[in-house]
Structure 1
């Protein structure tokens, strides 16, 4: 069936791109997206970062642990409110981010935004129909092109 074949092609493209991204940058897609989000606005609290990424705070904390171990981000506890922890990029984090290749996601967004409004609506409607046919739950998910789990062993 052509639809399933096309879906497999999309999944394979996402997987291949993520592997290339990881090999070239040493980062997973979620790690790279967190660095990009921090670069746009820092310092930022973990809660704000989780909201911007549309991810659970526990997921973001886990990814930040790995980024901190790689010395790409640093955390600083707020002096007035010890419950708040501010996150910002380190110099190494900025360098790693600047040398990282473009993500499939950023290229997709740029190309999608260049489509006419009616084309965008048609694509969204078609994808929503496919999700319904696959009985995909209607839950809030992060807008990132990643076919794997956010936390992988060996990160």
Structure 2
């Protein structure tokens, strides 16, 4: 097998891993990976605004609003008006949302982060450079993308 085929197989394995995780998450939690990540951020912070979530995920506030709307409908988070600034809306995880987080499969992204952060600094830099090169080779270097491993596009599958 030549290196071209080996590289395509590696790419396909990455795509399949993200697709499989998405299916497992949908089955166990009823959420997309992106919705799950929003729920994680809210639970980690205890209470936060849509602006805070948007900044951490590197997406628009409109995208976060749509994601939070869906989480509210699923009973995973609640919106509450701030007691100190009536203009501010805080988002908090519900008991049901926290239960989903504790029962969900180990997030693919968290596994990646743990393993990536255990690499030496030079290995991290090399991997980032290689992945950026692959993105450029696929004419994807300028695509808007949040740091969330999900095989689906956030704007159409939230």
Q: TM-score if structure 1 supplies the norm length? A: 0.89
8 Å CA contact 1:73, 1:87 repeated in 2:
yes
Q: 1:78: Cα distance to partner? A: 3.1
- Aligned mate of 2:76, from 59, 72, 75: 72
SS at match of 1:44: coil
1:49 aligns to 2:53 (yes or no):
yes
Q: Which moved more, 1:35-44 or 1:137-146?
A: 137-146
1:90 and 2:94 aligned: yes
Q: Number of matched residues?
A: 154
- Cα RMSD (Å) of the superposition? 1.8
Structure 1, unmatched stretches of 5+, are: none
Q: How does 1:1-155 map to 2 (within 5 A)?
A: 1=4, 2-78=6-82, 81-139=85-143, 141-152=145-156
DSSP-derived class of the 1:144 partner: coil
Q: Which moved more, 1:1-10 or 1:59-68?
A: 1-10
- In 2, the alpha carbon distance for the partners of 1:55 and 1:77 equals 23
Structure-2 separation of matches of 1:138 and 1:106: 25
Structure 1 123/92 Cα, relative in aligned 2: closer, same or farther at 3 Å? same
TM-score by length of 2: 0.88
